[in-house]
């Protein structure tokens, strides 16, 4: 079992099950085949989007297909000269950087030349290396109006801290973002980047605030992750569940990333439309407006203060759960991934939940295509969102007693996250 984006090539039986059970009832748009969002040429500005591909792991073979999509996306509409993708790749070769803009004219991906090649391998799953890449981009390819985006592309597991000990190949499955095995091969054990380390490293960068951070990785849309990163980006987009191996379709995502108005919504639509009417794959997504998170956290602190015992003692068997603790391939390596809205609907009164939903909608825009894949319950299966009103597509951790004896110390380390301290702290 692998953490992160997954490819499943034998899906005939699964497809038939999806078709016959009508799993797309929650699909919210009928125009999934609409043209990619067009660039707003009335705006005289530019954006630099950084793509950070940590692929020194099982995802090494996925790099070329997504970069090909990026080339197609950059060619699909009109961009300003200052609009550019700067793509960092660390796979089974030495790390390197590519530049893609409206002047990039190549017939094939092999013709795309590196603008920077590292002479030695580096640990790309370190916050320091991420920060160094961002500083390089800002110095070499600055946006004329300080408009930046960041795509974090790799494996992921949300807020869970890495416990990689520095061994040659740690057996640990705990990680937050990325895997760099240090051996230029496809093994999935090695260095991982803690979200807290990522946030602190990005906060130290001078005059860098991202318009958006897109995590093209599994499990990253947790309230703990977005709250940790609220000071470094205006919008954070990702999935609270496992995502298909194809991830985002960059041929439509790239034009959306360079929209100057409503770019977060356009990006969410571009990702969602790839799967909305797809009978083979499903997706659960959201976009979080970080400007609203401090007020939302203050409100959630009040909710927890009143309902702490209810939250800690509730029966969660019918709560929307993107990954079940202690079951299947994951075992006890990752806790339950409960949808935050489903938890609140389960615990709060009808009147209280109406207030909660109003507060949440100030921060969260949600889209779901009705089902998702999960290997958490013993073998690959699809799981359906039976009640879309339970879904906000942001997961949350609840420090339940069943985690108290876990070797990863989930309840203890949870209080080291900013959300844990600000919302659950006594």
Of 44-53, 125-134, 258-267, give the range with the top mean pLDDT: 125-134
Q: Where are the domains of the chain?
A: 45-291, 294-424
- Which residue would you say has higher pLDDT here, 44 or 337? 337
Q: Confidence class of residue 41 from pLDDT cuts 50, 70 and 90? A: low
- pLDDT at position 272 over 50: yes
Distant-in-sequence, close-in-space partners of 425: CB < 8 Å, separation ≥ 6: 415
Residue with more model confidence, 356 or 378? 356
- Rounded Cα distance between 196 and 407, Å, is 20
* DSSP-derived pairing of the beta strands 96-101 and 114-117: antiparallel
Q: Which residues sit opposite 289 in a β-bridge?
A: 235
Q: Which fold has domain 45-291?
A: Rossmann fold (3.40.50)
pLDDT at 175: 54
DSSP annotation string for 36-61: PPPP-TT-----EEEEEEE-SSTTGG
pLDDT tens column, 304-333: 999 999 999 999 999 999 988 888 777 777
Question: What mean pLDDT comes out for the span 9-32?
Answer: 32
- Cβ count within 10 A of residue 415: 13
280-284 average pLDDT score: 87
pLDDT (average), residues 127-141: 97
pLDDT of 231 reads: 98
Q: Tokens 């013709």 sit at which residue?
A: 111
CA-closest candidate to residue 392, choices 274, 288, 244: 288
Task: Place 376 in a pLDDT band, splitting at 50, 70 and 90.
Answer: low
Angle 263-273/250-257 helices, nearest 10 degrees? 170
DSSP letter at 162 equals: P
When pLDDT is cut at 50, 70 and 90, the band that residue 181 belongs to is very high
Q: Supply the pLDDT for residue 417.
A: 92
Degrees (nearest 5) of the Cα angle 160, 2, 163?
35
pLDDT, average across residues 398-421: 89
Residue-level pLDDT at 10: 29
Do residues 385 and 321 touch, judged by C-beta distance below 8 A? Answer: no
E strand or H helix at 15: helix 12-21
In the chain, the N- to C-terminal Cα span, in Å, equals 37
pLDDT tens per residue across span 149-180: 999 999 998 998 765 444 333 334 445 899 99
Looking at the chain, the number of H-run helices and the number of E-run strands are 12, 15
């Amino acid at each position: 079992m692998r953490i992160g984006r997954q490819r499943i090539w034998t899906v005939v039986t699964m497809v038939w099950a999806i078709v016959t059970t009508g799993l797309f009832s929650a699909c919210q748009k009928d125009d999934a085949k609409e043209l990619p969002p067009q660039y707003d040429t009335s705006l005289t500005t530019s954006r630099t989007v950084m793509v950070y591909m940590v692929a020194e792991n099982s995802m090494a073979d996925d790099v070329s297909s997504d970069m090909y999509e990026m080339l197609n996306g950059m060619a699909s509409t009109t961009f300003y000269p200052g609009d550019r993708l700067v793509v960092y790749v660390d796979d089974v070769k030495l790390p390197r950087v590519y530049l893609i803009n409206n002047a990039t004219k190549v017939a094939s991906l092999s013709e795309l030349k590196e603008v920077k090649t590292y002479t030695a391998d580096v640990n790309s799953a370190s916050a320091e290396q991420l920060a160094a890449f961002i500083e390089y981009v800002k110095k070499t390819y600055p946006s004329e109006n300080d408009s930046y985006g960041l795509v974090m592309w790799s494996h992921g597991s949300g807020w869970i801290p890495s416990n990689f000990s520095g061994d040659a190949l740690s057996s640990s499955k705990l990680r937050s973002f990325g895997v760099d095995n240090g051996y230029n091969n496809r093994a999935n054990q090695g260095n991982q980047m803690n979200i807290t380390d990522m946030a602190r490293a990005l906060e130290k960068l001078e005059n860098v605030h991202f318009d958006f951070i897109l995590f093209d990785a599994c499990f990253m849309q947790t309230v703990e992750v977005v709250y940790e990163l609220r000071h470094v980006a205006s919008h954070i987009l990702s999935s609270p569940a496992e995502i298909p191996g194809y991830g985002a379709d960059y041929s439509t995502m790239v034009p959306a990333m360079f929209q100057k108005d409503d770019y977060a919504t356009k990006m969410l639509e571009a990702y969602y439309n790839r799967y909305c009417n797809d009978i083979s794959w499903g997706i659960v997504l959201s976009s979080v407006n970080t400007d609203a998170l401090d007020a939302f956290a203050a409100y959630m602190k009040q909710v927890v203060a009143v309902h702490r015992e209810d939250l800690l003692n509730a029966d969660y068997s019918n709560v929307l759960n993107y990954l079940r603790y202690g079951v299947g391939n994951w075992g006890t390596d990752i806790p339950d991934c409960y949808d935050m809205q489903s938890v609140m609907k389960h615990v709060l009164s009808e009147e209280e939940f109406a207030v909660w939903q109003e507060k949440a909608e100030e921060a969260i825009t949600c889209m779901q295509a009705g089902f998702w894949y999960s290997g958490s319950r013993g073998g690959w299966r699809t799981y359906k969102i039976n009640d879309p009103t339970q879904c906000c597509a942001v997961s949350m951790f609840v420090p339940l007693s069943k985690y108290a004896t876990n070797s990863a110390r989930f309840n203890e380390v949870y209080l080291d996250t900013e959300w844990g301290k600000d919302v659950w702290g006594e």
